Structure formats: structure tokens, C-alpha cells
């Protein structure tokens, strides 16, 4: 059951990356993508009805972590206090920029929120990537599982390269989304942008994968090659795809496979310590009844949300 | 030397505790401003949407659209300020989260998966899909948003109610507080009465918002049809909500406090010494140094009666609790008296408005319209005051009787960090508050679409 809890948590974070991934990506390329008011307004219009629902996956994943593994929630959030609060501020600024841009037809007002939207989206993606990199690499923990290192420890080469991969991969994802959703005359630009980002993503992906496998040898476990292989295939399909819908599906699969690779690397740990040990799915879990309750609630709630979310999105996009 | 070092450590922990409490109190009180309005307006938006679509009633539809916009502004601000709330349990209250997360994490997680998804998905359709979906689906969205916002209130109140009156848990050998019975947590009668009172406080606020905005247009002689409709709706709901705030819900909350948290009751009432036939203080200022009320206005024996149904019953005063178990008196006392005082005034105002409405004279009574318009901010004050009673009066416990607030903080976070982030939140919320007020007033200035 603790394994199931791990899988559900990883799946929720993956859903977050796939869904909020497109609106974060739209933000990360916002200033480069379009210099005209019409293009920028169109980018916002494409994500406005959906971004909040997507972001709820992050909130729900955080809350599920709280209920399933309270010790990890407590140790991780307080251990990385300042980076975490900065993430909260960036989420707030980003939310304000999406809601407030377009309220007036004023270049000053909209220009301000354009920059805020771009900066907060890009920084968030970078932060998430660096955080993921550090988790995969392991961080110094004390006996209670609280972070016992320094801030500079977190800025290592590996984590920064994961951050760069996250930023470019989501930018590419955002460009692909725009290619699919915008009016026909704006699409070529989005496609060009996507193709320009692609080689960078490929290089970073190969670099990060080699580094990861060097540190956590896969060896004989053939099954563990699946996720990286799917990621590579999906990435190639992004470039090869002639249609925007296909490219977006491939790009989402690429992101999901990346998350799966990260999850299988740290399993069964949730917060691995730098030189072995750490908080895992057994030592951080409360009693079985508590884990079972949280697991049931999460599966029912998220399952229902996926159903009605799909129905609602379908009805909205049909028009 | 050793004891001096220890002293410094204690001071350090104390200041971190104070910083954490200030940051939490500030951010939650700011966040709560927005859910009050969304929970209070959601039923009105749903009602007018359904009515408008079913009867093809254009005024009702315009009303729904207008309050839908106000709702959306509050919702956006609620989301932006809510996200920091969710994560602050981990960042600033790691001791509490690690120890009690097995219970409080459950209800918070239910709120995300059952309520937040529902609200955000269907609000997206409601705001941007007017012309993209069928009218029936559109009306369903309005109702689902209402359900979502009230569900959200339930789960968060259930979380808080458990901290006030823990049930359905076990304490393990290692000292953690873990879930044993989720049904007991969700069906706790303490939680349900607190929930009904909270919801009613929000509904009352929504009713005052409708009545107040309508009164403003009538005084300004604009949008008269529309304004009369919302004043009527606001006053009709407002009188009912004002009564329910006092009886049965407020009364029942007081008796729960009497039974489960007697030290809080003593602080709320400024009852320093135990006595039989305790009087109810209507007015008076607590002097905590000498343990008396200054310039009190008492109704003899009434507190004994209200608390225990018997005029001669004994009410325990603060002096009967060890000083380490007493909540701060001043804040609890004033907050309680502000809430109850305002609650009585709301009832009086709504009663007068209802009488005038029945006689068909409300829309000409400019003095009454002035009162309704100026009353708009006060339900917010009553709500915030009520939470101050509940939360400050709960001290020094973070989980009543089980865990002290001082044990709840994060071991790795020092005061300086929290002070820095609290200043950051203050700056951000100031900006947000200004923009929010500006946009809301602008919507009100525009009025409904023609
Ligand atoms: C417009 C809002 C409003 C009004 C008019 C009232 N209340 Fe209230 N009250 C609240 C809004 C509120 C609240 C904000 O919703 C609180 C905060 C925590 C809670 O459970 O509800 C609350 C808490 C609260 C508590 C503390 C519960 C606890 O500590 O757990 C008591 C004893 C009362 N109320 C009693 C009353 C009485 C006797 C009222 C008679 C006039 C009254 N309230 C009017
Ligand atoms: C319903 C969900 C709520 C939960 C789970 C909750 C939880 C908490 C926690 C963990 C603390 C910090 C520890 C402490 O000082 O006891 C706290 C303090 C506080 N909360 Fe709440 N709270 C909730 C709702 C509210 C609301 C809606 C308000 C006000 C609008 C509020 C006002 C306060 C205040 C003023 C404090 C500071 C108390 C003090 O420092 O003496 N709370 N609450
Ligand atoms: C410490 C306590 C609290 C936490 C952790 C919290 C958390 C949150 C979060 C994360 C959101 C954003 C949801 C989204 O993205 O859609 C939110 C919004 C909301 N919260 Fe809170 N909240 C707290 C206190 C309260 C209280 C006391 C109430 C009401 C009784 C409340 C009612 C709502 C509602 C109705 C919303 C939906 C947005 C809105 O209507 O403004 N919250 N909250």
C-alpha cells in the first residue's frame, strides 16, 4: 500500500507537469513568442480558462503528501524554507498576472503583467527543475530528516542541468501548445520556436540521463530502461510530428517519461539523503489506516476530477 | 554559563514562535476575506443564473453576470492567497505537521481533491464559456461552483474543529497523533455546528453585499430595477442569516466552548474568578494585571444561565487554571464582544429593513438605504473577530489538550527568516489588496450590463 501511495503521488506530480506544463511553458516563452499585442493577448486567452484547474494538481499533490507522509511534508517544506516561500510568491505573482492582464487596454498595464508572467513562469520552472535535481541527487539530512546543508550545496552542476532541462523542455511544450491552440496565422511562429528549442532539449536530455545513470547505475534491471527509452522516442516524435496535436501528445509523453525516470531513480525514498538513507515510504508513513484513507480519498477525488475536467474541457474546446 | 546558553535558546525559540504566529495570523486573516465573499455570493449567483435561464429572465441573468464578476475577483484573490496557506503548515509549523499531519492532512487533502478541482474547473466554464456551452450546462456550472465553495468551507472548518476538539485519533508510542477513525473526524458535532455558524457568517456577508450595493445604486438613482431586486434578495436572506448567527448556531458554539474549552469561555467573558451565579458582562474593559473588569455593565446571573441553563451554576474563572494553560484575555474578550455586538446590530438593521420592505417603503427610505450601504464592511469585521476568538482563545494549545503551540514550530526555521517572509507577504498583500479594491469598485461603478 505504501508503494501504491508512492505511485499515486508520482502520478499527481506528473499530471501537474503535463497539464500546468503547457501554461507554464506558454509563460516561459511569452516574451520571445510574440511582440504584438494580438499575439500576447491570444496566448493569455488560450490558457485563461484552464490554468487554475491545472494548478490545483500542485495543491492537491502537496496536500496528498501531507496526508500520506506527514514527516516528508514537514521536513521538506521547512527544510527548504526560503526557496519554498519564494516559489509561493512566484505562484502568487503568476496568478495575478494571468488574472489581471487584459483588464485595461493600456500598454503600461499589460506590458507590466507580460513581464511578470514571463519572469514568474520561467523562474518557477527553473526552481522546480533544480529542486527535482537535488531530490534525485540526495541532500544532507539530519536524523529527523530535516535539511542540514547549506544553500550553496543546492546549486550543484547536476541540479542546475536538470533545471535547464526543465526550462527548455517546458518552453518547447508551451510552444507546441500555442502551435495547436492559436489562430492559423500565429501558428507558424509557434512551430518555428518549438523547432528551435528542440535540439537544446535533446542535448540536455542526453546529458542529464547519462549523469543520472552514472550516479545510479541501472545495470541488469532491464525494466528500468523503459522510461528513458520512451522519453527519447517521444522526443523524436515531437520533432517528426506534422500535426500540432500529435506533437503536443508526444511532448506530454516526453515529460511524463522524464517524471517516471526520476521517480524510479529515487524509489523507495521520497527525500533521499546525500550519501544513502533518508525518508522513505516506510519510515515516513503513519499507520496503515491513515495511509489507506488518504490513498482512497485521493484516488476517488482525482479520478472524479479527471472525468469532469475532461468533460468540461471538451465542451469548451468543441466551440 | 550553561544555563545562560539555555536561556538564549529559549528566547530564540520564543521569537521564532511569535514570528510564526504573526505570519500565520496575518496571512490567514487576509485569505479569509475572500472566501467569506465567495461562499456568501455563490448561492446568489447560482440562484439568479438558474432563475434567469429557466424563466428567460433578463434582469436575473444580468444580476448573475454582475455578481459573477465580483465572485470571480474574490475567487482569484482567494486562490492567490490560499496557496500560501496550504503550504505554511509545512514551512512554519513542521512540528505540528509531522506530529498531527496524519489527521489534519486528511481533511486538507479532501478539500483539494473534492472542492478545489470542482470550483476551478466549473468557474473556468462559467466565466469563459457563456457562448460555448449549452444554457443547461451553464446553469449546472453555477450550481456546482456553489457546491464547491461550500464543500471547501466544510473541509477547512473540519480541520480547524479537530484542532479545537480532537476526536478519532490515537497517540502512538513515538508521540505522533494519528488517524484512527475518519468518520469521527468528519461527523464530529463540534465541526458541524462550527461549520453552520461559519457558513451563516458568510451568507450574512453575502446578503449585506447585495443589499449594500443595491442601496448604493438606489441612493445614486441608477439601475433602479436591478437595484431593487438585489436589495430585496439581500434583505430577505439577511434577516434569516442574522437570526441564525445568534440562534441556534452562535448559542450552540458557545455551549460547545463551555463544555470543551472552559478556559476559552472564561477569557471570552472576562471572567477572572470562579463564582456561582456569574453575571454576563455586556461592556467593560479587562484589566489583566488586577484580574478585574473596569467599568463593567453586568446582567446578574445571566452567564451562569447561558452556559449551564441554571442561574446559580458555577462558572470557572481564569484563576482556576494554571497560568501556563490560560489564553490571552484581552484579544479574546474584545474580539468576542465585537462579534456579538455587531451580530446584535445586524439583526436590528435587518429587522428594520424587513419591516420597511414588507410595507413597501424600503426603496424610498433613504436613511435605511444609507445604513445598508455603510453596513457592508461590518460583517467582515464580525467574521474576522469570530476567528480571533476561536484561534486566540484556543491558545496555548495548537491541538487542544494534546499539543502546545510552542511545540508546533519548525525546528530549522529561525525568527529572522520568518520576519523576512512576513514582510514579503505584507508587501505582496498590500499590492494585491489595492488592485483588488480598485477593480471591485470599478465593477460596482460600471454597474450591470444593459
Ligand atoms: C457575521 C458573522 C458572525 C456573527 C454575526 C456572529 N458570529 Fe460567531 N463566529 C463567526 C461569525 C459570526 C465566525 C467567523 O464564523 C466564527 C469564527 C470561528 C467559527 O467557528 O466561526 C465565529 C465563532 C464563534 C464562537 C467561537 C467558536 C469556537 O471558539 O470554536 C462563538 C462562541 C460564537 N461565534 C458565538 C456567536 C454568538 C453568540 C453570536 C451572537 C450574536 C455570534 N457568534 C455572531
Ligand atoms: C479553518 C482552518 C484553520 C486552520 C486549520 C487554522 C490553523 C491555525 C494554526 C496552525 C495556527 C498557528 C498556531 C497557533 O497560534 O495556534 C493558527 C493561528 C491563528 N489563526 Fe487559525 N486556522 C484556521 C482558520 C483561521 C481563520 C479563518 C482565521 C481568521 C480569519 C484564523 C486566525 C488565526 C489567528 C489570529 C491565529 C493566531 C493565534 C495566536 O497567535 O494567538 N484561523 N491557526
Ligand atoms: C489554514 C487554513 C486554510 C488553507 C490551508 C486554505 C487553502 C486554500 C487554497 C490552497 C485555496 C486555493 C484553491 C484553488 O486554487 O482553487 C483556497 C481557496 C479557498 N479557501 Fe481557503 N484555506 C484556508 C482557510 C480557509 C477558510 C477558513 C475558509 C472558509 C471557511 C476557506 C475557504 C476557501 C474557499 C471557499 C476557497 C476557494 C477560493 C475562494 O472561494 O476564494 N479557506 N484556500
A76 vs chain B: nearest CA distance in angstroms? Answer: 8
Best mutation site among B152, B199, B201, B205 for ligand 3 pocket (most ligand atoms within 8 Å of CB): B152
What is the rounded distance in angstroms from the CA atom of residue B145 to the CA atom of residue B141?
6
Separation of CA B86 and ligand 3 centre (Å): 8
Q: Does position B130 have pLDDT exceeding 60, yes or no? A: yes
The answer to whether B184 faces chain A, any CB pair under 8 Å, is no
Q: Does position A220 have pLDDT exceeding 80, yes or no? A: no
Q: What pLDDT band is residue B311 in, cutting at 50, 70 and 90? A: confident
Nearest to B12, CA basis, from B429, B432, B414 = B414
The answer to whether A315 faces chain B, any CB pair under 8 Å, is yes
Nearest residue on chain A to B85, judged by CA atoms? Answer: A88
Q: What pLDDT band is residue B402 in, cutting at 50, 70 and 90? A: very high
Looking at all shown ligands, the one closest to residue B241's CA atom is 1
Q: Does position A107 have pLDDT exceeding 70, yes or no? A: yes
- Beta-bridged to residue A271, according to DSSP, are A279
Determine which helix (DSSP H) or strand (DSSP E) holds A149, and give its type and residue range. Answer: none
Count Cβ atoms within 10 A of the Cβ of residue A7 and give its class: 0-12 exposed, 13-18 middle, 19 or more buried: middle
What is the rounded distance in angstroms from the CA atom of residue A162 to the CA atom of residue A177?
22
Q: Say if residues B167 and B188 touch (Cβ distance below 8 Å).
A: yes
What is the model's pLDDT at position A48? 85
3-state helix, strand, coil in chain B (%, to 5): 75, 5, 15
When pLDDT is averaged across residues A51-66 and rounded to a whole number, the result is: 90
| Chain B residues 324-363 within an 8 A CB cutoff of chain A | none
| Chain A residues 16-55 within an 8 A CB cutoff of chain B | 48-50, 52-53, 55
What is the rounded distance in angstroms from the CA atom of residue A58 to the CA atom of residue A61?
5
B-chain residues near A82 (CB < 8 A): 417, 421
Best mutation site among B337, B349, B390, B399 for ligand 1 pocket (most ligand atoms within 8 Å of CB): B390
When pLDDT is averaged across residues A69-93 and rounded to a whole number, the result is: 90
Q: Say if residues B442 and B211 touch (Cβ distance below 8 Å).
A: no
A-chain residues near B133 (CB < 8 A): 315-316, 319
Going from the C-alpha of B412 to that of each of A75, B96, B300, B415, B438, the distances in angstroms are: 9, 13, 51, 10, 39
When pLDDT is averaged across residues B402-407 and rounded to a whole number, the result is: 91
Q: Say if residues B33 and B380 touch (Cβ distance below 8 Å).
A: yes
Nearest to B230, CA basis, from B250, B253, B244, B210 = B210
Determine which helix (DSSP H) or strand (DSSP E) holds B247, and give its type and residue range. Answer: none
What is the model's pLDDT at position B10? 53
What is the rounded distance in angstroms from the CA atom of residue B17 to the CA atom of residue B132?
51
B321's grid cell: 487554571
Atom of ligand 3 nearest to the CA of B34: 41
Q: With an 8 Å Cβ cutoff, are B97 and A74 in contact?
A: yes
**Closest residue to A77, CB basis, from B79, B94, B116:** B94
Residue minimizing CA distance to atom 7 of ligand 2:
B160
- Mutation target to probe the A interface, by most A beta carbons within 10 A, among B101, B140, B148, B436 is B101
At B118-128, the pLDDT tens digits run 998 899 899 88
Q: How do beta strands B169-171 and B177-179 pair?
A: antiparallel
When pLDDT is averaged across residues A213-223 and rounded to a whole number, the result is: 75
What is the rounded distance in angstroms from the CA atom of residue A199 to the CA atom of residue A177?
18
Dihedral angle sign, alpha carbons of residues B2, B3, B6, B8: negative
Q: Average pLDDT over chain B, rounded to whole?
A: 91
Ligand 3 pocket, Cβ-based, cut-off 6 angstroms:
A 52, 56, 59; B 28, 31-32, 34-35, 38-39, 74-75, 78-79, 82-83, 85-86, 116, 119-120, 149, 152-153, 156-157, 198
Q: With an 8 Å Cβ cutoff, are B131 and A319 in contact?
A: yes
CA triple B18-B76-A73, angle to 5 deg: 45
Looking at all shown ligands, the one closest to residue B150's CA atom is 3
Query: B72 — phi, psi (to 5°)?
Result: -60, -40
What is the model's pLDDT at position A21? 85
When pLDDT is averaged across residues B63-73 and rounded to a whole number, the result is: 94
At A159-199, the pLDDT tens digits run 999 999 999 999 999 999 988 888 888 888 888 889 899 99
The answer to whether A103 faces chain B, any CB pair under 8 Å, is yes
- Mutation target to probe the B interface, by most B beta carbons within 10 A, among A44, A53, A58, A124 is A53
Q: Does position B3 have pLDDT exceeding 50, yes or no? A: no
What is the model's pLDDT at position A45? 85
B74 vs chain A: nearest CA distance in angstroms? Answer: 11
- Mutation target to probe the A interface, by most A beta carbons within 10 A, among B70, B120, B423 is B120
The answer to whether B91 faces chain A, any CB pair under 8 Å, is yes
B108's grid cell: 486538507
Q: What pLDDT band is residue B11 in, cutting at 50, 70 and 90? A: low
Q: Say if residues B405 and B325 touch (Cβ distance below 8 Å).
A: no
* 3-state DSSP assignment of residue A183: coil
B192's grid cell: 458541524
Q: Is B157 in the pocket of ligand 2 (CB under 6 A)?
A: yes
Find the range with the poorest average confidence among A184-188, B164-168, B365-369.
Answer: A184-188
At A116-137, the pLDDT tens digits run 999 999 999 999 999 999 888 8
What is the rounded distance in angstroms from the CA atom of residue A240 to the CA atom of residue A235?
9
Instruction: Say which residue the cell 465553495 belongs to.
Output: B149
Going from the C-alpha of B446 to that of each of A51, B66, B438, B443, the distances in angstroms are: 28, 10, 12, 5
CB atoms within 10 A of CB B27: 23
ipTM tops 0.85: yes
A288 vs B352, more confident: B352
Angle at which helices B58-92 and A70-79 cross, to 10°:
80
Q: Say if residues A89 and A58 touch (Cβ distance below 8 Å).
A: no
What is the model's pLDDT at position B220? 93
Going from the C-alpha of A242 to that of each of A19, A191, A239, A249, A318, the distances in angstroms are: 22, 10, 8, 12, 22
Q: Does position B1 have pLDDT exceeding 70, yes or no? A: no
Atom of ligand 1 nearest to the CA of B161: 30
Nearest residue on chain B to A94, judged by CA atoms? Answer: B80
B263's grid cell: 478556559
What is the rounded distance in angstroms from the CA atom of residue A90 to the CA atom of residue A65?
21
3-state helix, strand, coil in chain A (%, to 5): 80, 5, 15
Ligand 1 pocket, Cβ-based, cut-off 6 angstroms:
B 164, 194, 197-198, 201, 204, 245-246, 250-251, 253-254, 257, 339-340, 342-344, 346, 379, 382-383, 386-387, 389-390, 393
What is the model's pLDDT at position B13? 63
A-chain residues near B123 (CB < 8 A): 52
Q: With an 8 Å Cβ cutoff, are A147 and B412 in contact?
A: yes
Instruction: Say which residue the cell 503536443 belongs to.
Output: A248
**Contacts for B257-264: CB closer than 8 Å, 24+ residues apart:** B257/B393, B258/B307, B258/B308, B260/B164, B260/B165, B260/B190, B260/B400, B261/B164, B261/B165, B261/B393, B261/B394, B261/B400, B262/B316, B263/B318, B263/B321, B263/B325, B263/B326, B263/B327, B264/B327, B264/B332, B264/B389, B264/B393, B264/B394
Looking at residue B279, the DSSP 8-state letter turns out to be P
Q: Does position B417 have pLDDT exceeding 50, yes or no? A: yes
Q: With an 8 Å Cβ cutoff, are A77 and B117 in contact?
A: no
Nearest to A235, CA basis, from A252, A216, A223 = A252
The answer to whether B100 faces chain A, any CB pair under 8 Å, is yes
Q: What pLDDT band is residue A219 in, cutting at 50, 70 and 90? A: low
B334 vs chain A: nearest CA distance in angstroms? Answer: 33
Q: With an 8 Å Cβ cutoff, are B179 and A92 in contact?
A: no
A293 vs chain B: nearest CA distance in angstroms? Answer: 8
Q: What pLDDT band is residue B290 in, cutting at 50, 70 and 90? A: confident
What is the model's pLDDT at position B16? 87
| Chain B residues 289-318 within an 8 A CB cutoff of chain A | none
A-chain residues near B152 (CB < 8 A): none
When pLDDT is averaged across residues B82-101 and rounded to a whole number, the result is: 92
DSSP string, B323-353: GGGPPPHHHHHHHHHHHHHHHHHHHHHHHHH
Separation of CA A183 and ligand 1 centre (Å): 53
Determine which helix (DSSP H) or strand (DSSP E) holds B287, and give its type and residue range. Answer: strand B280-287
What is the model's pLDDT at position B169? 92
- Mutation target to probe the A interface, by most A beta carbons within 10 A, among B100, B105, B132 is B105
At A271-319, the pLDDT tens digits run 888 877 788 888 888 888 999 999 999 999 999 999 999 888 888 877 5
Angle at which helices A288-318 and B94-110 cross, to 10°:
50
CB atoms within 10 A of CB B426: 15
Which residues have C-beta within 8 Å of that of residue A243, sequence separation ≥ 6?
none
Nearest to B44, CA basis, from B275, B314, B234 = B234
* 3-state DSSP assignment of residue A170: helix
Q: Say if residues B22 and B422 touch (Cβ distance below 8 Å).
A: yes
Q: What pLDDT band is residue A30 in, cutting at 50, 70 and 90? A: confident
Looking at all shown ligands, the one closest to residue B382's CA atom is 1
When pLDDT is averaged across residues A262-270 and rounded to a whole number, the result is: 84
Q: What pLDDT band is residue B2 in, cutting at 50, 70 and 90? A: very low
Separation of CA B108 and ligand 3 centre (Å): 10
At A200-211, the pLDDT tens digits run 999 999 999 888
Q: Does position B9 have pLDDT exceeding 60, yes or no? A: no
The answer to whether B180 faces chain A, any CB pair under 8 Å, is yes
Q: Does position A41 have pLDDT exceeding 90, yes or no? A: no
Q: Does position B320 have pLDDT exceeding 60, yes or no? A: yes
Helices (H), A182-287: 187-215, 226-240, 244-266
Looking at residue B275, the DSSP 8-state letter turns out to be E
Q: With an 8 Å Cβ cutoff, are B435 and A301 in contact?
A: no
- Beta-bridged to residue B286, according to DSSP, are B293
The answer to whether B174 faces chain A, any CB pair under 8 Å, is no
Q: Is B32 in the pocket of ligand 2 (CB under 6 A)?
A: yes
A-chain residues near B443 (CB < 8 A): none
Q: What pLDDT band is residue A245 in, cutting at 50, 70 and 90? A: confident
Which residues have C-beta within 8 Å of that of residue B153, sequence separation ≥ 6?
B35, B39, B195, B198, B199, B202
Atom of ligand 3 nearest to the CA of B78: 41
Looking at residue A127, the DSSP 8-state letter turns out to be H
What is the model's pLDDT at position B36? 96
Instruction: Say which residue the cell 511534508 belongs to.
Output: A73
Amino acid at each position: 500500500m505504501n508503494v501504491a501511495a508512492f505511485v499515486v503521488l508520482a502520478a499527481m506530480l506528473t499530471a501537474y507537469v503535463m497539464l500546468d506544463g503547457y501554461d507554464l511553458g506558454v509563460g516561459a516563452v511569452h516574451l520571445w513568442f510574440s511582440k504584438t499585442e494580438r499575439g500576447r493577448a491570444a496566448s493569455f486567452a488560450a490558457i485563461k480558462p484552464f490554468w487554475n484547474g491545472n494548478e490545483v494538481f500542485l495543491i492537491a499533490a502537496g496536500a496528498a503528501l501531507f496526508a500520506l507522509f506527514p514527516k516528508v511534508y514537514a521536513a521538506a517544506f521547512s527544510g527548504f524554507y526560503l526557496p519554498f516561500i519564494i516559489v509561493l510568491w512566484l505562484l502568487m505573482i503568476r496568478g495575478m498576472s494571468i488574472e489581471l492582464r487584459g483588464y485595461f487596454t493600456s500598454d503600461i498595464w499589460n506590458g507590466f503583467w507580460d513581464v511578470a508572467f514571463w519572469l514568474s513562469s520561467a523562474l518557477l520552472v527553473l526552481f522546480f527543475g533544480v529542486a527535482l535535481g537535488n531530490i534525485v541527487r540526495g541532500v544532507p539530512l539530519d536524523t529527523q530528516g530535516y535539511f542540514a546543508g547549506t544553500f550553496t550545496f543546492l546549486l550543484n552542476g547536476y541540479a542546475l542541468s536538470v533545471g535547464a532541462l526543465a526550462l527548455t523542455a517546458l518552453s518547447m511544450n508551451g510552444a507546441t501548445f500555442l502551435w495547436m491552440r492559436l489562430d492559423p496565422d500565429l501558428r507558424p511562429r509557434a512551430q518555428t520556436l518549438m523547432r528551435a528549442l528542440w535540439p537544446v532539449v535533446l542535448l540536455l536530455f542526453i546529458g542529464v540521463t547519462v549523469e543520472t545513470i552514472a550516479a545510479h547505475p541501472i545495470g541488469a534491471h532491464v525494466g528500468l530502461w523503459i522510461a528513458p527509452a520512451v522519453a527519447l522516442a517521444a522526443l523524436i516524435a515531437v520533432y517528426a510530428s506534422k500535426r500540432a496535436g500529435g506533437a503536443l501528445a508526444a511532448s506530454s509523453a516526453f515529460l511524463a517519461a522524464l517524471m517516471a525516470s526520476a521517480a524510479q531513480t529515487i524509489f523507495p525514498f521520497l527525500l533521499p539523503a546525500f550519501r544513502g538513507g533518508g525518508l522513505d515510504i516506510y519510515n515516513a508513513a503513519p499507520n496503515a489506516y491513515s495511509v489507506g484513507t488518504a490513498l482512497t480519498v485521493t484516488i476517488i477525488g482525482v479520478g472524479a476530477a479527471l472525468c469532469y475536467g475532461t468533460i468540461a474541457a471538451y465542451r469548451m474546446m468543441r466551440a | 554559563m550553561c544555563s545562560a546558553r539555555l536561556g538564549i535558546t529559549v528566547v530564540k525559540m520564543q521569537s521564532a514562535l511569535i514570528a510564526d504566529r504573526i505570519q500565520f495570523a496575518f496571512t490567514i486573516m487576509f485569505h479569509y476575506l475572500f472566501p467569506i465573499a465567495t461562499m456568501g455570493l455563490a448561492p446568489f449567483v447560482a440562484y439568479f443564473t438558474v432563475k434567469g435561464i429557466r424563466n428567460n429572465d433578463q434582469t436575473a441573468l444580468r444580476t448573475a453576470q454582475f455578481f459573477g464578476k465580483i465572485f470571480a475577483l474574490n475567487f482569484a484573490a482567494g486562490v492567490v492567497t490560499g496557496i500560501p496557506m496550504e503550504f505554511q503548515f509545512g514551512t512554519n509549523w513542521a512540528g505540528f505537521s509531522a506530529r498531527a499531519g496524519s489527521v489534519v492532512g486528511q481533511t486538507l487533502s479532501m478539500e483539494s481533491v473534492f472542492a478545489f478541482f470542482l470550483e476551478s474547473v466549473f468557474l473556468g466554464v462559467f466565466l469563459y464559456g457563456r457562448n460555448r456551452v449549452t444554457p443547461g450546462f451553464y446553469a449546472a456550472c453555477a450550481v456546482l461552483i456553489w457546491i464547491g465553495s461550500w464543500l471547501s468551507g466544510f473541509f477547512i472548518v473540519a480541520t480547524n474543529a479537530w484542532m479545537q476538539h480532537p476526536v478519532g485519533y490515537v497517540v502512538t508510542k513515538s508521540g505522533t497523533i494519528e488517524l484512527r477513525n475518519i468518520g469521527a473526524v468528519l461527523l464530529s458535532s463540534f465541526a458541524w455546528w462550527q461549520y453552520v455558524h461559519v457558513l451563516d457568517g458568510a451568507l450574512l456577508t453575502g446578503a449585506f453585499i447585495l443589499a449594500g450595493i443595491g442601496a448604493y445604486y438606489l441612493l445614486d438613482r441608477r439601475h433602479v430595477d436591478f437595484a431593487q431586486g438585489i436589495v430585496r434578495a439581500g434583505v430577505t436572506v439577511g434577516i434569516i442569516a442574522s437570526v441564525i448567527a445568534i440562534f441556534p448556531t452562535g448559542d450552540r458554539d458557545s455551549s460547545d466552548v463551555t463544555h470543551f474549552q472552559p478556559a476559552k469561555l472564561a477569557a471570552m467573558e472576562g471572567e477572572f474568578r470562579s463564582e456561582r451565579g456569574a453575571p454576563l458582562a455586556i461592556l467593560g474593559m479587562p484589566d489583566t494585571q488586577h484580574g478585574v473588569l473596569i467599568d463593567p455593565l453586568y446582567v446578574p446571573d445571566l452567564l451562569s444561565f447561558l452556559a449551564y441553563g441554571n442561574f446559580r451554576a458555577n462558572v470557572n474563572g481564569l484563576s482556576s487554571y494554571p497560568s501556563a494553560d490560560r489564553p490571552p484575555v484581552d484579544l479574546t474578550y474584545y474580539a468576542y464582544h465585537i462579534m456579538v455586538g455587531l451580530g446584535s446590530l445586524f439583526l436590528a438593521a435587518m429587522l428594520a429593513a424587513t419591516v420597511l420592505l414588507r410595507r413597501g417603503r424600503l426603496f424610498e427610505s433613504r436613511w435605511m438605504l444609507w445604513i445598508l450601504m455603510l453596513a457592508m464592511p461590518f460583517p467582515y469585521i464580525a467574521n474576522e473577530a469570530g476567528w480571533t476568538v476561536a484561534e486566540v482563545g484556543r491558545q496555548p494549545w495548537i491541538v487542544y489538550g494534546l499539543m502546545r503551540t510552542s511545540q508546533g514550530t519548525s525546528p530549522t526555521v529561525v525568527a529572522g527568516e520568518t520576519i523576512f517572509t512576513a514582510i514579503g507577504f505584507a508587501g505582496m498583500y498590500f499590492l494585491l489588496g489595492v488592485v483588488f479594491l480598485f477593480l471591485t469598485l470599478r465593477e460596482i461603478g460600471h454597474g450591470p450590463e444593459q
